[in-house]
Amino acid sequence: MTDKKFVYFFGDNQTEGSNKMKHLLGGKGANLAEMANLGVPVPPGFTISTEACVLYMKNNDYPEGMWDEIDKNIDKLEKSTGKKFGDPENPLLSSVRSGAPISMPGMMDTVLNLGLNDETVRGLAKRTDNEWFAYDSYRRFIMMFSDVVLGIDTNEFENLIQQKKDELGVTEDTELDTNTMKDLVEEFKSVYKEKTGSDFPQEIKQQLKMAINAVFNSWNNERAKKYRQLNDISDELGTAVNVQAMVFGNMGETSGTGVAFTRNPATGEKEFYGEYLTNAQGEDVVAGIRTPKSIQALKENMPDVYKQLDDITQKLEQHYKDMQDIEFTIEKGKLYMLQTRNAKRTAAAALKVAVDMVYENLINKKEAVMRLKPSQIDQVLHPMIDPDSELELLSSGLAASPGAAVGKVVFSAEHAEEMAQNNEDVILVRTETSPEDIGGMHAAKGVLTVRGGMTSHAAVVARGMGKPCVCGCDGISIDMNKGVFTAKGYSINEGECISIDGSEGKIYMGEAELKMPNVSGELETMLQWADEIRSLNVRTNADTPEDAKLARDFGAEGIGLCRTEHMFFGEERIPVVREMIMADNKEDREKALQKLQPMQKDDFLDIFRAMDGYPITIRLLDPPLHEFLPNYEDLIEKIKKLESEGGKQEEIKRVNDLLRNVDTLKETNPMLGHRGCRLGITYPEIYEMQIKAIIEAACELSSEGTNVIPEIMIPLVSNEKELDFVKKTVTDTAESVMNEKGTNIDYLCGTMIELPRAALTADKIAKGAEFFSFGTNDLTQTTFGYSRDDAGKFLPLYIDKGILESDPFAVLDQEGVGELMKIGIDKGRSSRPDIKMGICGEHGGDPESISFSYEAGLNYVSCSPYRVPIARLASAQAVLKEENQN
């Protein structure tokens, strides 16, 4: 015997746990205990701890003493309810549910009505005076037990029910009569025997043992593992098991079961919101098989129960200081609370609830800032269908998850995943979704289901993922075999495009134009609170005045990366750029550059104006020159075509010249090739042109009163001498332009740190650099030796096998790349303590990476315009996390 306690009782004034014990009792168990402590009516029961589960998984055996404790708690439960397991007169029925420390909706297995056998079913019938109910419960129990504990396909049972319905010409289960139910019980037991070779267990403790065992094992089933992977939940937590006395929502019209929220989980509006079904068990609501009624209907049907429920939920929200998601059951007019937890909500709701709760004095600003996941901002900023677009409406359904999406129709999760891997946008269309569909939902741009309500699997999961979703859209019907769905007389084949609007619950034919919403009031407020807290500056990566303007509206405090090469690609520019590249000598090259210079200057004029008063980091030309030339294979084709069509000799010669240049400039590994400052050293005239354009534009605007703060950035430095070389070009050129213009511009000259050697020799480089910008995209490529363009061949497998936790191009690799950054930061500051440092890779918009950037001591992050609000929030949260740790 060990001293460990594995089982905790709740209810009936004997509660042993509390909300503080989530890790041990799981979310559900802890909340049941907490509710019991608060005096909320909860059916009594006990929780087997996660610790028991972890030990079970580790040793492949139950921890010593666990079953003794369970026996003692069964005694307690029997005393508390006045019923007994297996008692033919007054049988105790229980539910057995999983409950992990972190909520995993629909992921884990549950058994209801445990305690029924051929004898107790009769006792239950007698006791409740409702034979139909007793046999309905028994057949449900056999089916769930068979499914969950023994993995027997539920269709085996569903088909038998359907047969009966067909025979009797009815559509609802509730329309089946008692004898039919009895027949079904017998038939179900036969299925069980046929599939397992044994009789359905009549011994209640054996039922319980098998069920507990199944819940423990469900922790490691495929869909649970997949969910944890997608949601970054540790495999080591384990699940608790809650054994709880059953109460019945399926005991007639004064019974029912429902799910409710203290506020609207889609919008955050403060309104009591929910759904319920009369004469039903909880699973019926969640599964989305019957479409439930609004909770408002309960107010009319059972006003007292409604009042009690409303009071309880208010009390729970006040207690937990967060919006609650509750499950309740009404057994013959008596209300029981089965669960309360912090509600899942849309991003818009999360935002509104957090802001409202500050105004309601429930939480403070800092708490509010921690309530919104940075990634949720992405969802608030989700695209909408352009209101002006004139598309054919196919059907309407529930607005289950906000935002709009456009994509090709697919009917299976696997297909969705395949097509997404080929970079195709898809909409997953299903009758209803199940946990097996998670991967496909993740891959799809949006989800559409025929059945199910706002709390159906599809709706809950899509909201969590921030995907647009329309549910319960029964105006459409799917023919899987033919690969087509029909609506309003139209047939939409797999592969055809549709548009869905998850905020409005509408389905349209064809491709809609999508539009971004404005940043609304609550977001503004939330981000202002974040701004008060954060110390990291947030800049944007922008190459156009439009992006600069957009980012500024989103709160960007400057540009962290302005890529000048993007300016080379304009239609009237690319011929001049090619002329420059193909020049045989410096003179011809300079001629072409002279043509480019006024164009570049115009670009800078517009961007400087858009960022008036904020610093702009301009990166000098970075990509290898061959990127500006056409593709080799295309040129070969073109020549072939010209030759076969008898094209002009002149034209053929021109294309051949181009081909020769493309061939000369071709590189084996362009990522590691002749680019960045290497270009600026071999062809200083290119950088000279760019610097001239920058400084001329700055001088001109400065005399007009615009506050221009240019920061000239030299890319791909691996050696302080490269920096010194190019910096001389910068200072000489700038000096001469400023003299000519008679204006002085305060500009900085700095460098990207995007190669391991740059980080390792940052002390030397910092002597010449006034700022560092960590280019974590390239730094990730070289640190790992991964080509971003090629890593797709093995990265998915790496993540699948757990070799990598996440894609290092999306989430900064703190152990390797981050280590180099720390070396670079320390060495850089050692020789220039006041050096300004930032990050401008994709990671600049990733919350985890922003947190790292803050801890590592950077001054700013820079990210794409749409991620600026995310970065503002994430930067504030980084400060708060640090405060909370100290």
Candidate residues 296, 787, 806, 831; the one interacting with a second copy per rule CB under 8 A: 787
Nearest CB to a second copy, comparing residues 236 and 789 = 789
Candidate residues 725, 731, 770, 777; the one interacting with a second copy per rule CB under 8 A: 725
Tell me the window of 1-9, 491-499, 664-672, 853-861 that interacts with a second copy (CB under 8 A): 664-672
Under a CB-based contact definition with an 8 Å cutoff, are residues 295 and 475 in contact? no
Candidate residues 109, 147, 437, 722; the one interacting with a second copy per rule CB under 8 A: 722
Q: Is 816 in the site for a second copy (CB under 8 A)?
A: yes
The least CB distance from residue 453 to a second copy, in Å, is 42
State the number of binding residues for a second copy (CB under 8 A): 48
The least CB distance from residue 622 to a second copy, in Å, is 12
Under a CB-based contact definition with an 8 Å cutoff, are residues 661 and 625 in contact? no
Under a CB-based contact definition with an 8 Å cutoff, are residues 623 and 675 in contact? yes
Under a CB-based contact definition with an 8 Å cutoff, are residues 744 and 768 in contact? no
**DSSP string covering 211-264, please?**
HHHHHHHHTTSHHHHHHHHHTT--TTS--EEEEEE---S-SSTT-EEEEEESS-
The least CB distance from residue 680 to a second copy, in Å, is 10
Establish whether 840 is a catalytic residue. Answer: yes
Nearest CB to a second copy, comparing residues 229 and 375 = 229
Nearest CB to a second copy, comparing residues 648 and 793 = 793
Q: Is 418 in the site for a second copy (CB under 8 A)?
A: no
Nearest CB to a second copy, comparing residues 52 and 752 = 752
Which member of 457, 469, 626, 677 is catalytic? Answer: 457
Which member of 53, 562, 749, 840 is catalytic? Answer: 840
Candidate residues 75, 414, 704, 819; the one interacting with a second copy per rule CB under 8 A: 819
The token duo for 593 is 């550059």
Q: Is 719 in the site for a second copy (CB under 8 A)?
A: yes
Q: Is 783 in the site for a second copy (CB under 8 A)?
A: yes
Q: Is 193 in the site for a second copy (CB under 8 A)?
A: no
Nearest CB to a second copy, comparing residues 517 and 684 = 684
Candidate residues 253, 546, 634, 790; the one interacting with a second copy per rule CB under 8 A: 790
Determine the distance from the C-alpha atom of residue 570 to the mean position of all C-alpha atoms in its chain, rounded to a whole number: 35
| Structure-token match 């858009």, residue found | 610
Q: Is 668 in the site for a second copy (CB under 8 A)?
A: yes
Rounded CA separation 333/255 (Å): 6
Establish whether 382 is a catalytic residue. Answer: no
Site string for a second copy, 669-708 (x = CB under 8 A): xxxxxx---x--xx--------------------------
Q: Which residues pair with residue 688 across a beta bridge?
A: none
Residue 800 CB contacts under 8 Å (≥ 6 apart), including other chains = none
| Structure-token match 């290497």, residue found | 678
Q: Is 756 in the site for a second copy (CB under 8 A)?
A: yes
Rounded CA separation 100/699 (Å): 63
- What is the phi/psi pair of residue 155, to 5°? -60, -30
The least CB distance from residue 267 to a second copy, in Å, is 43
Candidate residues 67, 490, 798, 866; the one interacting with a second copy per rule CB under 8 A: 798
Angle of the 776-784 helix axis to the 817-831 helix axis, nearest 10: 120
Tell me the window of 24-32, 147-155, 690-698, 815-823 that interacts with a second copy (CB under 8 A): 815-823
Under a CB-based contact definition with an 8 Å cutoff, are residues 865 and 364 in contact? no
Nearest CB to a second copy, comparing residues 73 and 849 = 849
Q: Is 820 in the site for a second copy (CB under 8 A)?
A: yes
Residues 560-619 that bind a second copy (CB under 8 A): none
Q: Is 784 in the site for a second copy (CB under 8 A)?
A: yes
What is the CB neighbour count within 10 angstroms for residue 480? 12
Q: Distance of CA 804 to CAs 46, 756, 777, 778, 808, Å?
A: 39, 20, 17, 18, 8
The token duo for 834 is 């006041």
The least CB distance from residue 722 to a second copy, in Å, is 6
Q: What is the phi-psi region of residue 39: left when phi exceeds 0, alpha when psi lies from -120 to 50, beta otherwise?
A: left
Q: Is 545 in the site for a second copy (CB under 8 A)?
A: no
Q: Is 225 in the site for a second copy (CB under 8 A)?
A: no
Q: Is 234 in the site for a second copy (CB under 8 A)?
A: no
Annotated ligand binding at 271? The verdict is no
Give the dihedral sign, CA 608/610/614/616.
Answer: negative
The least CB distance from residue 764 to a second copy, in Å, is 8
What is the CB neighbour count within 10 angstroms for residue 734? 23
The least CB distance from residue 311 to a second copy, in Å, is 53
What is the CB neighbour count within 10 angstroms for residue 451? 20
Q: Distance of CA 83 to CAs 87, 243, 365, Å?
A: 7, 15, 49
Q: What is the CA radius of gyration of the chain?
A: 33
The token duo for 769 is 């650099």
Rounded CA separation 149/145 (Å): 5
Judged on CB neighbours under 10 Å (0-12, 13-18, 19+), 50 is buried
Buried b (16+ CB within 10 A) or exposed e, 399-435: bbbbbbbbbbbbbbbebbbebbeeeeebbbbbbbbeb
The least CB distance from residue 716 to a second copy, in Å, is 7
Give the dihedral sign, CA 618/622/625/630.
Answer: negative
Candidate residues 271, 797, 830, 884; the one interacting with a second copy per rule CB under 8 A: 797
Q: Is 714 in the site for a second copy (CB under 8 A)?
A: no
Annotated ligand binding at 754? The verdict is yes
The least CB distance from residue 182 to a second copy, in Å, is 52
Residues near a second copy, by CB under 8 A: 667-674, 678, 681-682, 716, 718-719, 721-722, 725, 754-757, 760-761, 778, 781-787, 789-791, 793-794, 797-798, 801-804, 813, 815-817, 819-820
Binding-site annotation, residues for Mg(2+): 754, 778
Would you name the residues annotated as active-site residues? Answer: 457, 840
